[in-house]
Structure 1
């Protein structure tokens, strides 16, 4: 199985040599200053995973062992979480900042993403309830003033779209933001939660089915069926425990700047490179 190393800075010959030895890999060949690949390496055991993490982590190198013989164009769908994955913020935390409750809401968000709060529905309802009475215009202010795409997002999306892959943004966040991103990034499908708004104010309620971990996984499977693909032909990218079930059904799962519980269960972890690190994993 191929071993891929990538970083945001040039990879040094010494680091490549040590990583090759650790992984008992064939020669690591530079594809660019920041990406190197070996055609084969030792089986990925827990011990090897720990050794690569211990060596690569302090050097800001991301490593991946990927299935041999696959091309990026063999996949049919890229599915992404939104908050802290496709974008750099947690939208609900930024909304809460406008009513002075960011710290309180952020604490619940963090606990939920780490998997410490197992009932996502309840955690979302608790957070949204704190927003009751807030003017709905705040949603536009968060989008315009605070929402930023994660590094490499546009390059990754443009490349996979050019290859014919479909794109899905499925979020435990809010439709207000996913719909704007759908238009901006030409995404194929989006799914998220709807905040109830009455007379221009947030009511503190969520309307309809909450997009939790089960719904995310179901949505990935439904979109795969709709486009004539199998889940094995899907790539899923996420950062929190709410993403684990949809990552588990995919052919490749990518933990992006993720919580430890997600990094340990994902196929690949990007702790340093951008979302366009996906493009280095497979020939196109």
Structure 2
């Protein structure tokens, strides 16, 4: 296994310190933002040294390349984008504080996601459907590196999926904008131009996310180790467990514990930097 460290702006002193702590025999540059520490060992103090130096780190099998994967699956809210859409929609009703508290509890794994979604959506009843457009047009932004990541994956021939416990209004627009091959989310019920406070059909929760990943994986004839999944909260745990390489992006502790890689200091495109220039080594 190789130790790879990366950051938006790698500090040479921090890099050398991590190399020393990990007993690496050499430092090899992969990209301008990532380095391979040859012969590094998972010694005590390594994680603390990386954190102190503002470096993300991951152990990768020898020779692992981006083209070894065939499917990338990502969560939407607070992973691909910078907001929790339902919190911003609730803000239009004056309920953001209440809804955000429920969202946070669900993300931490403290309450059941289905229960949390039902409670939050109910508070949106009576809101004009135009509020969704307001959030998409004026509050939603892609997280750093999202576009570069998708472009790099697509150049490498990797299929991409957006799967969310959020809403189809947003996933379908992001699918079109970024060129995702698949998109799954919950559909808000609308009647006479207003939200009813209900969701149509089956709720997309953590288990459903994993099921969509597995269905696409099987249809593409891929093995679990050929799938990358990225998320940030408890609802993404089943999805990351179903993937061969799970990425926790600025994530809650409950998800970090099951991820292969935690990105705290780089954008989403840090995934590409793990594997070399342009995402290929």
Question: Normalising to structure 2: TM-score of the pair?
Answer: 0.95
CA contact (8 A) 1:11 1:33 kept: no
Structure 1 residues not aligned, in runs of 5+: none
1:11 and 2:4 are equivalent in the alignment: no
Shift of 1:273: 0.2
The equivalent of 1:246 in structure 2 is 239
The equivalent of 1:180 in structure 2 is 173
The equivalent of 1:171 in structure 2 is 164
SS at 1:197's partner residue?
Answer: strand
The equivalent of 2:33 in structure 1 is 34
The equivalent of 2:20 in structure 1 is 21
1:74 and 2:68 are equivalent in the alignment: yes
Structure 2 residues not aligned, in runs of 5+: none
Shift of 1:41: 2.2
The equivalent of 1:148 in structure 2 is 141
The equivalent of 1:131 in structure 2 is 124
RMSD of Structure 2 on Structure 1 (CA): 1.3
The equivalent of 1:193 in structure 2 is 186
CA contact (8 A) 2:107 2:234 kept: yes
Shift of 1:66: 1.3
**Which range moves more in the overlay, 132-141 or 67-76?**
67-76
The equivalent of 2:85 in structure 1 is 91
Take 1:53 and 1:180, find their aligned partners in 2: how far apart are those partners? Answer: 38
Task: Pick one of 115, 118, 134 that aligns with 1:122.
Answer: 115
Take 1:95 and 1:35, find their aligned partners in 2: how far apart are those partners? Answer: 38
Shift of 1:32: 4.4
Question: Normalising to structure 1: TM-score of the pair?
Answer: 0.94
The equivalent of 2:265 in structure 1 is 272
Shift of 1:24: 2.4
Take 2:57 and 2:84, find their aligned partners in 1: how far apart are those partners? Answer: 26
Runs of 4+ in structure 1 off by over 6 angstroms are: none
Count of residue pairs brought into register by the alignment? 277
